[in-house]
A and B are shown apart, each in its own frame.
Chain A
Amino acid sequence: MSDSTSILRDQVAQAAGRSSPLRIVGGNSKHFYGNPQPCEYETLKTGIHSGVMDYAPEELMLRVRAGTPLAEVKSLLGQEGQMLGFEPPDFGGNATMGGVVAAGLSGPRRPSAGSVRDFVLGITLLTGDATVLSFGGQVMKNVAGYDVSRLMTGAMGTLGVILDISLKVLPRPGEELTWCRRADAAADESLLGQLRRNGLGLSATATVGDRFYVRASAEADVEGDVVDGALWDRLANQQLSAFEGGNLWRISVPRTAPTFMEQAAVVEWEGALRWLLDPAEDPRQTFAGAGVSGHATLFRSDEGDRDDRFHPLDPLVGQIHRRLKQQFDPVGIFNPGRVNWYSNAN
Chain B
Amino acid sequence: MDQPFDDDAALIDVYSPADGAREIQMTPDKAAFVKALHSLCGDNMITDSARLAVYETDGLTAKRRLPWIVVKPGTIAEVQAIVKLCHTHSVPIVARGAGTGLSGGAMPHDEGVLLSLARFNRVLSVDEAGMTARVEPGVTNLGITAAVQHLGLYYAPDPSSQIACTIGGNVAENSGGVHCLKYGLTVHNVAALKVVSPEGDIYDLGSEALDAAGLDLLALMHGSEGMLGIVVEVTVRLLARPPSVCVALAAFADVASAAKAVGDIIASGILPAGLEMMDQLAIRAAEAFVHAGYPEEAGALLLCELDGTPTDLKRLAVRMEALLRDSGSTGVTIAWDEAERARLWQGRKAAFPAVGRISPDYYCMDGTIPRRALPDVLNEIGALSTAFGLRVANVFHAGDGNLHPLILYDANKTDELQRAEAFGGRILELCIERGGTITGEHGVGAEKIDQMCIQFTDDERTVFFGVKACFDPTGILNPGKAIPTLSRCAEFGAMHVHRGQEPHPELERF
Interfacial residues, chain A to chain B (CB-CB below 8 A) = 56-61, 81-82, 104, 110-111, 114-115, 117-118, 127, 131, 133-135, 137-148, 150-151, 153-155, 159, 170-172, 174, 189, 196-200, 217, 219, 252-257, 269, 272-273, 293-295, 297, 310-314, 316-318, 320-321, 323-324, 327-328, 341
A318 to B470, CA, bound (A): 11
Q: Which residues of B contact A197 (CB under 8 A)?
A: 152, 240-241, 243
Give A155 Cβ to nearest chain B Cβ, in Å: 6
Q: Is the CB of B312 within 8 A of A217?
A: yes
Q: Given A59-B371, A141-B441, A254-B209, are A323 and B215 also a contact pair (CB < 8 Å)?
A: no
Q: Is the CB of A341 within 8 A of B436?
A: no
Q: Is the CB of B309 within 8 A of A217?
A: yes
Give A241 Cβ to nearest chain B Cβ, in Å: 25
- Asked if B440 is an interface residue, CB under 8 A from chain A, the answer is yes
A180 to B306, CA, bound (A): 30
Interface-side segment among B1-9, B17-25, B200-208: B200-208
- Minimal Cβ-Cβ distance residue in B for A61: B370
Q: How many residues on chain B are close to A (CB under 8 Å)?
A: 90
Known contacts A59-B372, A154-B216; 8 further A-B pairs (Cβ under 8 A) = A58-B263, A137-B436, A151-B220, A199-B244, A199-B308, A256-B130, A327-B470, A341-B215
Q: Which residues of A contact B460 (CB under 8 A)?
A: 133-135, 145
Q: Is the CB of A137 within 8 A of B219?
A: no
A341 to B216, CA, bound (A): 12
A313 to B400, CA, bound (A): 36
Per-residue CB proximity of B159-195 to A under 8 Å, as 1/0? 0000000000000011010001100110110000000
Q: Which residues of B contact A324 (CB under 8 A)?
A: 215, 467, 470
Q: Which residues of B contact A115 (CB under 8 A)?
A: 210-211
Q: Is the CB of A60 within 8 A of B211?
A: no
- Asked if B338 is an interface residue, CB under 8 A from chain A, the answer is no
Q: Is the CB of A133 within 8 A of B463?
A: yes
Q: Is the CB of A255 within 8 A of B219?
A: no
- Asked if B311 is an interface residue, CB under 8 A from chain A, the answer is yes
- Minimal Cβ-Cβ distance residue in B for A220: B309
Q: Given A58-B263, A254-B207, A294-B209, are A148 and B463 also a contact pair (CB < 8 Å)?
A: yes
Interfacial residues, chain B to chain A (CB-CB below 8 A) = 127, 129-130, 132, 152, 173-174, 176, 180-181, 184-185, 187-188, 197, 201, 203-205, 207-217, 219-220, 222-224, 228, 240-244, 263-264, 266-267, 269-271, 307-309, 311-312, 368-372, 397, 400-402, 435-444, 448, 452, 455-457, 459-461, 463-464, 466-471, 482-483
A118 to B443, CA, bound (A): 19
- Minimal Cβ-Cβ distance residue in A for B212: A295
Q: Is the CB of B174 within 8 A of A143?
A: yes
- Minimal Cβ-Cβ distance residue in B for A269: B210
Q: Is the CB of A143 within 8 A of B370?
A: no
Q: Which residues of B contact A294 (CB under 8 A)?
A: 207, 209
Of listed A58, A127, A145, A317, residue having the most chain B CB within 10 A:
A145
Number of residue pairs A-B, CB distance < 8 angstroms: 238
Contact of A295 among B213, B244, B452 (CB under 8 A): B213
- Minimal Cβ-Cβ distance residue in A for B239: A196
Give A249 Cβ to nearest chain B Cβ, in Å: 13
Of listed B241, B460, B463, residue having the most chain A CB within 10 A:
B463
Give A136 Cβ to nearest chain B Cβ, in Å: 8
A150 to B217, CA, bound (A): 9
Q: Is the CB of B463 within 8 A of A327?
A: yes
Q: Which residues of B contact A104 (CB under 8 A)?
A: 211, 216
Q: Given A139-B435, A155-B215, A327-B463, are A145 and B452 also a contact pair (CB < 8 Å)?
A: yes
8 pairs, CB–CB < 8 Å, chain A vs chain B: A58-B266, A114-B188, A145-B464, A151-B219, A171-B269, A252-B211, A328-B463, A341-B215
Q: Is the CB of B215 within 8 A of A138?
A: no
List the 6 closest pairs (A to B, CB-CB), nearest first: A254-B208, A311-B213, A141-B440, A150-B219, A58-B267, A323-B470
Q: Is the CB of A313 within 8 A of B213?
A: yes
A219 to B269, CA, bound (A): 18
A171 to B266, CA, bound (A): 9
Q: Which residues of B contact A196 (CB under 8 A)?
A: 240
A324 to B216, CA, bound (A): 12
Q: Which residues of A contact B228 (CB under 8 A)?
A: 146
- Minimal Cβ-Cβ distance residue in A for B369: A139
Q: Is the CB of A316 within 8 A of B203?
A: yes
Q: Is the CB of A314 within 8 A of B203?
A: yes
Q: Given A118-B184, A131-B459, A139-B368, are A171 and B270 also a contact pair (CB < 8 Å)?
A: yes
Q: Which residues of A contact B127 (CB under 8 A)?
A: 254, 256
Q: Is the CB of A118 within 8 A of B188?
A: yes
Q: Is the CB of A143 within 8 A of B470?
A: no
Q: Is the CB of A139 within 8 A of B209?
A: no
Q: Is the CB of B219 within 8 A of A141?
A: no
Q: Is the CB of A138 within 8 A of B209?
A: no
A196 to B443, CA, bound (A): 34
Contact of A171 among B129, B152, B271 (CB under 8 A): B271
Q: Which residues of B contact A82 (CB under 8 A)?
A: 269
Q: Which residues of B contact A171 (CB under 8 A)?
A: 269-271
- Minimal Cβ-Cβ distance residue in B for A314: B203
A148 to B463, CA, bound (A): 9
Q: Which residues of A contact B402 (CB under 8 A)?
A: 139-141
Q: Which residues of B contact A318 (CB under 8 A)?
A: 214
Q: Is the CB of A142 within 8 A of B209?
A: no
Q: Which residues of A contact B467 (CB under 8 A)?
A: 146, 148, 151, 324, 327
- Minimal Cβ-Cβ distance residue in A for B473: A323
Q: Given A252-B211, A324-B467, are A145 and B483 also a contact pair (CB < 8 Å)?
A: yes
Q: Is the CB of A327 within 8 A of B466?
A: yes
Contact of B312 among A174, A321, A323 (CB under 8 A): A174
Q: Is the CB of A272 within 8 A of B311?
A: no
A310 to B213, CA, bound (A): 7
Q: Which residues of A contact B209 (CB under 8 A)?
A: 252-254, 272, 293-295
A253 to B206, CA, bound (A): 11
Q: Given A131-B459, A252-B210, A254-B209, are A144 and B452 also a contact pair (CB < 8 Å)?
A: yes
A295 to B460, CA, bound (A): 33
Give B313 Cβ to nearest chain A Cβ, in Å: 9
Give A194 Cβ to nearest chain B Cβ, in Å: 10
A90 to B461, CA, bound (A): 35
Contact of A143 among B243, B372, B440 (CB under 8 A): B440
A231 to B307, CA, bound (A): 29
Q: Which residues of B contact A256 (CB under 8 A)?
A: 127, 129-130
Q: Is the CB of B224 within 8 A of A146?
A: yes
Q: Which residues of B contact A317 (CB under 8 A)?
A: 203-205, 214, 217
Q: Given A144-B444, A316-B203, are A139 and B370 also a contact pair (CB < 8 Å)?
A: yes
Give B253 Cβ to nearest chain A Cβ, in Å: 21
Q: Is the CB of A117 within 8 A of B401?
A: no
Q: Given A131-B459, A139-B440, A219-B312, are A151 and B215 also a contact pair (CB < 8 Å)?
A: yes
Q: Which residues of B contact A310 (CB under 8 A)?
A: 213-214
Q: Is the CB of A146 within 8 A of B223?
A: yes
Q: Is the CB of A81 within 8 A of B269?
A: yes
A313 to B205, CA, bound (A): 10
